[in-house]
Structure 1
Amino acid sequence: MPDTIDSHALIARLQLQPHPEGGYFRETYRADQRVMRDGSNETRAASTAIYFLLCDGAHSAWHRIRSDEVWHFYAGDPVDVHVLDASGTLHTHRLGNALVRAGTAFQAVVKAGDWFAAECRDASGAALVGCTVAPGFEFSEFALAAPGELQARYPQHQELLARLA
């Protein structure tokens, strides 16, 4: 049985805002400590964290960032995090309450540079997750996939890539 959540009440309670890739979010942590990326003179926060809510049929569109991202499940319906690695292999991590749902995990890792997208397993569902990024997330290092870009590169995954574009 799913952990039913009132997504509209949660948006107000957690002060969530629409996210450019879909869903709602709010940054909850940005480390004061700064780190320098290898091969760069720019510094970044050592780590950042957000709440991220998927509801009302929204999904997280295909995108990538330059840092590792750890997804954490908090409440609601299971979430599939689809990851395309550098070789074009598709991995799907199912987040959910692992204490009561077989085949789910509380956390999943997306490696820096991999393309990924996420959706509630049930399109009518809602789920609250969190994402921790290290080095910290910066919108300047965020890239949404251009329309058709991934389908042309990975035709074996065309249906999923198009559906979550």
Structure 2
Amino acid sequence: MQRASIDSRELIQRLKLEPHPEGGFFCETYRANGKVVRESEQAMRSASTAIYFLLCDGAHSSWHRIRSDEDWHFYAGDPLDVHVLDANGTLVTHRLGNALEHADAVFQAVVEGGNWFAAECHDAEGAALVGCTVAPGFEFSEFELAVPGALEARYAQHRELIERLNPKV
């Protein structure tokens, strides 16, 4: 399989990407002016937000979760695996990539709010530019990085994958 080459350094500069706490690089590109109320807590949020997100140089997106649904969109580069753990311990991996070139890839994948998830380039040497749209909009106050050891204890059947994609301490 031929690698889809992208110039990560150029993209970081051109798109004004900054390091993300979960790993990789990001830049918020949209925050809706419209507001919605999250019924479960009566919190006002932007209706939607969007970012560019780049994984490269062997970096991964560490296990984390947010309260809102997050729709991942593939833009360029190599396929990216988005691993999702639901409350029952079911693991689903979405291969995000150019579905015209990779039969096992999809252009979009949704992670439901509250689920733990992490991402990595399918080829560790690869680079992938994706977008993430969150609704209701993303707030860092709702961002939770996994505590090393906690997910492994809860989902022992996925220990190896969880440990590999844990936050760097």
- Give the TM-score normalised by the residue count of structure 2: 0.96
Which whole-Å deviations, capped at 9, do the CAs of 1:69-88 have from their partners, x for residues lacking one?
00000000000000001110
Alignment partner, residue 11 of structure 1: 12
Alignment partner, residue 110 of structure 2: 109
List runs of 5+ in structure 1 lacking aligned partners. none
- The alpha carbon displacement at 1:42 in A equals 2.0
Q: Distance in 2 between matches of 1:106 and 1:39?
A: 31
- What percent identity do the matched residue pairs reach? 72
Alignment partner, residue 82 of structure 2: 81
* Partner-residue secondary structure (3-state), 2:10: helix
* Partner-residue secondary structure (3-state), 1:130: strand
Q: Distance in 2 between matches of 1:154 and 1:39?
A: 27
Aligned length: 165
Alignment partner, residue 158 of structure 2: 157
* Partner-residue secondary structure (3-state), 1:9: helix
- Give the TM-score normalised by the residue count of structure 1: 0.99
Q: Distance in 2 between matches of 1:101 and 1:91?
A: 18
Alignment partner, residue 46 of structure 1: 47
Alignment partner, residue 58 of structure 1: 59
> Structure 1 residues 115-124 or 33-42, which shifts more?
33-42
Q: Distance in 1 between matches of 2:161 and 2:65?
A: 16
- Does residue 26 (structure 1) correspond to residue 27 (structure 2)? The answer is yes
Which whole-Å deviations, capped at 9, do the CAs of 1:61-117 have from their partners, x for residues lacking one?
000000000000000000000000111000000000001111000000000000000
Q: Distance in 1 between matches of 2:151 and 2:159?
A: 8
Q: Distance in 1 between matches of 2:61 and 2:103?
A: 24
* Partner-residue secondary structure (3-state), 1:157: helix
Q: Distance in 1 between matches of 2:157 and 2:41?
A: 35
- Does residue 138 (structure 1) correspond to residue 143 (structure 2)? The answer is no
Q: Distance in 2 between matches of 1:42 and 1:87?
A: 27
Alignment of 1:84-95 (within 5 A): 84-95=85-96
List runs of 5+ in structure 2 lacking aligned partners. none
Q: Distance in 2 between matches of 1:42 and 1:69?
A: 18
Which whole-Å deviations, capped at 9, do the CAs of 1:107-155 have from their partners, x for residues lacking one?
0000000000000001110000000000000000000000101000000
Q: Distance in 2 between matches of 1:148 and 1:132?
A: 29
- The alpha carbon displacement at 1:41 in A equals 2.9
Q: Distance in 2 between matches of 1:117 and 1:109?
A: 13
Q: Distance in 2 between matches of 1:65 and 1:86?
A: 13
